[in-house]
Structure 1
Amino acid sequence: MINLYEVQETNKMIEESNLDVRTITMGISLLDCCDTDVDKVCENIYNKITTQAKNLVSTGCEIENEFGIPIVNKRISVTPISLVGGSCCKTTDDYVKIAKALDRAALEVGVNFLGGYSALVSKGMTDSDRLLIESIPKALASTERVCSSVNVGSTKTGIDMDAVKLLGEKILETAELTKDADSLGCAKLVVFCNAPDDNPFMAGAFHGVTEGDAVINVGVSGPGVVKRALEKVRGEDFGTLCETIKKTAFKVTRVGQLVAQEASKRLNVPFGIIDLSLAPTPAVGDSVAEILEEIGLESVGAPGTTAALALLNDQVKKGGVMASSYVGGLSGAFIPVSEDQGMIDAVEANALTLEKLEAMTCVCSVGLDMIAIPGDTKATTISGIIADEMAIGMINQKTTAVRLIPVIGKDVGEMVEFGGLLGYAPVMPVNRFGCDAFVNRGGRIPAPIHSFKN
């Protein structure tokens, strides 16, 4: 039973520390929407999403009002579209048709993002996969709510460098097509290694083929709650620090568990997982960077940053898994630059560089996320950065991701405004030495030796 003290404590976390449920994401399988006619597929997709998710937003609002827990986003993820469109899509324009159908469905049910315009190509690309990747720039430029992701590597299969090369080019093309909005299209495209099937967070969410017909996944967030808790143990030893983070993560995750169970029951859709990630926002006091600074750093990027992040990530997982039997997705600490005021401040103070962020991704939940770079960055340089990050995920048997935004017309130090939860960011410098010969080799980087576990 929940006692009165716990209710009061949760209310304080909501009112004073920006505690919220970041997203209720309904995963929907579109495998039964396949057909040889692209127009029929679009019709099937629209009908299935608008039927299955018709009450998602209203139910989320009901739970929000009834329990007093802010639920920031209601979203949808779908089966990777390269699998759904394989039989009917013969051109990139066919795939763009499907993207527009997804966008119309998202608008109809009232969600802010729909993820799953995706391909899984860690070992190689089918013709359908390649067509979808080729279509990404136009699809993201001609839709508002559709998010795209491509999984190009895994610990079991290695890294498909042909896909990495292609995506470097497509990221630049997406930037160019959306340059009037500061290349915002790139904020809706994520490149993964070891992508999970049940991630509820955008832009990388998709409904994996191992999932059922529909599922409810919930992402919680509470950087402000953790920071407030750590302020009370300032100067204490690491044992006390770790216990405080674990206990706080437990409380935050219990809030998500309650929301997930209620949403599952009211929508009559199975409960999938709780993703207990610490996902920051541009709001003051809702920053992962500020947690790291509370742990003892003068600024994120200082020596000790990677160790502090490793500690935080591990304790969040240890506390969260005790609060739910179904923990999944990414789960840990996100470090997006544009969505975290502390990260933005650290970049502006020259305390945080792209190379330090890459080192931090070795121990956190995601990777190089929401990073603005100069618009004249070469496609091969972008591919090289992606390859580095994919290698970290492959070797360390963890999920890593890249969401780079080459902002056309902007250079190092200029500010880019994305708006809403996407925030704003200073354009960061990238290493100007070339990697063309490396990226252009073609083929696949083999899986590491420790992948052989059969």
Structure 2
Amino acid sequence: MISQYEVLETNHMVEEENLDVRTITIGISLLDCIDSDLDSVNEKIYTKLTSVARDLVKVGSQIEREYGIPIVNKRVSVTPIALVGAAACKRPEDFVTIAHTLDKAAHQLGINFIGGYSALVSKGMTAAEENLIRSIPQALAETELVCASVNLASTRTGINMDAVRLMGEIVHETAVYTKEEDSLGCAKLVVFCNAPDDNPFMAGAFHGVTEADAIINVGVSGPGVVKTALESVRGESFEILCETIKKTAFKITRVGQLVAKEASKRLNIPFGIIDLSLAPTPAIGDSVADILELIGLERVGAPGTTAALALLNDQVKKGGIMASSYVGGLSGAFIPVSEDQGMIDAVQANALTLEKLEAMTCVCSVGLDMIAIPGASSADTISGIIADEMAIGMINQKTTAVRLIPVIGKDVGDSVELGGLLGTAPVQPVSAFGCSDFVNRGGRIPAPIHSFKN
């Protein structure tokens, strides 16, 4: 039970410190929608989605009103569509019809996004998976709410460099397809190493094949709450700093646990996991970068940044895991440039570079996230950046991801307005030196030796 004191404390965090539940995401299995007839597949998908998730928005709004806790997004994730459509889809255009069906269902449900236009190709690609990947630029250009993801690598299997090379081309092609919207399609496309099956956050959410028929996963937020707590311990020891972060993460997670349990009961769908990630927004005071600077950095990107982020990430997990028995997803601290005003300011002050961000991804939850780069960047350069991030995840046995936005027509010094929670992205420079011979070798980078644990 949550005490009256906790209720009052939660209300203060909501009103003064930007606390929110970032998302309630229903994961829905579409394995029973598989059919060799494409029209039947689309009909089954639409029927199941609009049936299982029909009350998501209504229930989310009820919980918001009754508990006074903002729930920013209501979302759905589905079984990777490369699996669902494999029997019926013989060419990329066939998969695009499923993207339209997902988008139509999402609009009917009134949700914010639907994820799972995905393929899992860390070791190899089937013909269906390649067709889905090649359909992504068109699918994202012709839909509004569909998000796509591709898992390219894992600690167990290594890095599929053929898929990495292809995804460099696909990211660039998606940018061109959506150039009239400042290449917005790339903000809905992410590539992974070690992608989790139960991630509630977009653009990477999909419903893993090991999951139940339907499940509720909740993502909490709260950088503003952590920032406020740390203001009271300026200059204190690391011990006090760590204890403060843990206690605050516990409180934030308790809010998410409450919302998850209520949503599960009212929707009659089992509760899956709480994702503990600190997810920033463009709002002033709701920034992971601000937390790192309160820890003692003059500006994010300064020496000590990676250590400070490692500390923050670990203490958030330690505090949150005491508040819920079912923690999963990504869990930690996001560092998306465009969605975090402190990160934007650091980039514009030349304190934070792409290379430093890559170093920070060794210890944070995700990876190179929401980073705008020059539209003239080559597909091979994009593939090289992806390969570097996949290697970090593979070697460190953690999830890493890349969400790059090559903004067609823009260069270093420009910025791009992506709107809403996606924020504003300053265009960052990439290396002027090429890696074509490397990414075009073909084949797979083998798994590291510690993958063979069985």
The TM-score bracket by the shorter chain reads over 0.9
Distance of 2:3 and 2:96 partners within structure 1: 52
Residue pairs, 1:327-342, within 5 angstroms: 327-342=327-342
Give the aligned partner of residue 386 of structure 1: 386
Query: Partner letter of residue 364 of structure 1?
Result: C
Give the aligned partner of residue 77 of structure 2: 77
Secondary structure of 1:401's aligned partner: strand
Give the aligned partner of residue 179 of structure 1: 179
Distance of 1:106 and 1:399 partners within structure 2: 27
- 1:37 to 2:30 alignment: no
- 1:99 to 2:99 alignment: yes
* Superposed displacement of residue 9, structure 1: 1.0
- 1:17 to 2:17 alignment: yes
Distance of 2:442 and 2:413 partners within structure 1: 34
Distance of 2:3 and 2:151 partners within structure 1: 44
Secondary structure of 2:260's aligned partner: helix
* Superposed displacement of residue 432, structure 1: 1.2
Give the aligned partner of residue 257 of structure 1: 257
- 1:446 to 2:438 alignment: no
1:317-355: CA deviation from partner (whole Å, max 9, x where unpaired) = 000000000000000000000000000000000000000
Distance of 1:226 and 1:171 partners within structure 2: 34
Query: Partner letter of residue 408 of structure 2?
Result: I
Distance of 1:21 and 1:3 partners within structure 2: 19
* Superposed displacement of residue 95, structure 1: 0.3
Distance of 1:333 and 1:152 partners within structure 2: 22
Give the aligned partner of residue 216 of structure 2: 216
Secondary structure of 1:358's aligned partner: helix
* Superposed displacement of residue 182, structure 1: 0.3
* Superposed displacement of residue 413, structure 1: 1.0
Distance of 1:9 and 1:74 partners within structure 2: 25
Query: Partner letter of residue 228 of structure 1?
Result: T
1:59-112: CA deviation from partner (whole Å, max 9, x where unpaired) = 000000000000000000000000000000011110000000000000000011
Distance of 1:3 and 1:55 partners within structure 2: 29
Distance of 1:407 and 1:120 partners within structure 2: 26
Residue pairs, 1:327-366, within 5 angstroms: 327-366=327-366
- 1:4 to 2:7 alignment: no
Give the aligned partner of residue 60 of structure 1: 60
Distance of 2:55 and 2:9 partners within structure 1: 31
CA RMSD of aligned residues (A): 0.4
Distance of 2:105 and 2:60 partners within structure 1: 18
Distance of 1:159 and 1:442 partners within structure 2: 11
Give the aligned partner of residue 266 of structure 1: 266
* Superposed displacement of residue 35, structure 1: 0.5
Give the aligned partner of residue 402 of structure 1: 402
* Superposed displacement of residue 304, structure 1: 0.2
* Superposed displacement of residue 384, structure 1: 0.2
Q: What 5-or-longer segments of structure 1 have no aligned partner? A: none
* Superposed displacement of residue 3, structure 1: 2.5
Give the aligned partner of residue 225 of structure 2: 225
Give the aligned partner of residue 310 of structure 2: 310
Residue pairs, 1:294-305, within 5 angstroms: 294-305=294-305
1:131-155: CA deviation from partner (whole Å, max 9, x where unpaired) = 0000000000000000000000000
* Superposed displacement of residue 5, structure 1: 1.9
Secondary structure of 1:245's aligned partner: helix
Secondary structure of 1:369's aligned partner: strand
Secondary structure of 1:200's aligned partner: coil
Distance of 1:48 and 1:319 partners within structure 2: 37
Q: What 5-or-longer segments of structure 2 have no aligned partner? A: none
* Superposed displacement of residue 313, structure 1: 0.1
Give the aligned partner of residue 432 of structure 1: 432
TM value normalised by structure 1: 1.00
1:413-446: CA deviation from partner (whole Å, max 9, x where unpaired) = 1010000000011100000100000000000000
Distance of 2:221 and 2:365 partners within structure 1: 13
Query: Partner letter of residue 356 of structure 1?
Result: K
* Superposed displacement of residue 4, structure 1: 2.4
Secondary structure of 1:180's aligned partner: helix
Alignment coverage as a number of residue pairs: 454
Secondary structure of 1:370's aligned partner: strand
Secondary structure of 1:117's aligned partner: strand
TM value normalised by structure 2: 1.00
Distance of 1:153 and 1:173 partners within structure 2: 21
Distance of 1:156 and 1:371 partners within structure 2: 28
Give the aligned partner of residue 88 of structure 2: 88
* Superposed displacement of residue 187, structure 1: 0.3
Distance of 2:388 and 2:92 partners within structure 1: 29
